[in-house]
Amino acid sequence: MPRPFLLPALLCLLMAQMACTDTFADAYARERQRLMTAIADLATETLSETGRPAFSAAVMAALTKVPRHRFVPADQVPYAYDNRPLAIGHGQTISQPYIVALMTDLIDPRTDQTVLEIGTGSGYQAAVLAELVAQVYSIEIIAPLATEAANRIRELGYANIQTRTGDGYYGWEEAGPFDAILVTAAASHVPPPLIRQLKPGGRMVIPVGAHFMAQYLLLVEKDEDGQVSTRQILPVSFVPLTGGGKD
């Protein structure tokens, strides 16, 4: 099994580089760095079921850059850089950073892409995406959350995120089709309009499960011919049989 020992080293290098810039000039830089090192270690320890040995360096860099503590309510700030899900009010949560990294990595973000997010929540995932792709569109169903997130995104200066309040089921027709779609809101099924708004070769990721923990991630892939298939991905490496290997 290939184990990319190189990645943590690369990451440290990257972090050292970034530490010189303004983006790290907040009081939580050290905590964020600790969290990212932990996530990098976790990713290399486990061959995740994405079929990749670890998260891409770009994704890790984006997470290293986004100040998670700015996206959580004041009483949750002390835990902002713990690798755990957090409550953000209105009965909503943000995923644990490890899962955010995994979901972001799964859509294979590139700098020329346009991405749609259903369920802005605090805006954290949108901010991570904004570091990686050209344009992010994000829809939130709960009005107060949408307003808070829009303000936050504006304050933090993310010019490439557009938000709106409302029903995500029909996607964002006029801005589509999208290279990737992230559905962080609960869904009983994959909305057919969203499948239509996915470009050939595009990917959609939906975390499925109860609050504070995704049971699995649903990856919807549309091939170049427009054929759609899904993959169900456990966030962890867990073989359901004792004494059984993966091969």
Nearer to another protein, 133 or 233 (CB): 233
Site membership for another protein, residue 83 (CB under 8 A): yes
Q: Which stretch binds another protein (CB under 8 A): 5-13, 91-99, 121-129, 151-159?
A: 91-99
| CB 106 to another protein: min, Å | 13
| CB 64 to another protein: min, Å | 17
Site membership for another protein, residue 240 (CB under 8 A): yes
Q: Which of residues 101-140 bind another protein (CB under 8 A)?
A: 102
Amino acid in position 54: A
Site membership for another protein, residue 37 (CB under 8 A): no
**Token digits for 88?**
């953000």
Nearer to another protein, 17 or 230 (CB): 230
What is the DSSP annotation of 88-112? EETTEEE--HHHHHHHHHHT---TT
Site membership for another protein, residue 189 (CB under 8 A): yes
Active site residue 188: no
Site membership for another protein, residue 98 (CB under 8 A): yes
Long-range pairs, 231-239, Cβ under 8 A, ≥24: 233/49, 233/50, 233/106, 234/49, 235/48, 235/49, 235/98, 235/99, 235/102, 236/46, 236/48, 237/46, 237/47, 237/48, 237/49
**Token digits for 27?**
């009081």
Q: What angle do CA 150, 235, 105 make, to 5 degrees?
A: 55
**Three-class SS state of 121:** coil
Q: Which residues of this protein are in contact with another protein, per CB under 8 A?
A: 38, 42, 46, 49, 51, 79, 82-85, 87, 90-92, 95-96, 98-99, 102, 141-143, 165-167, 169, 186, 188-192, 195, 208-216, 218, 220, 228-236, 238-244, 246
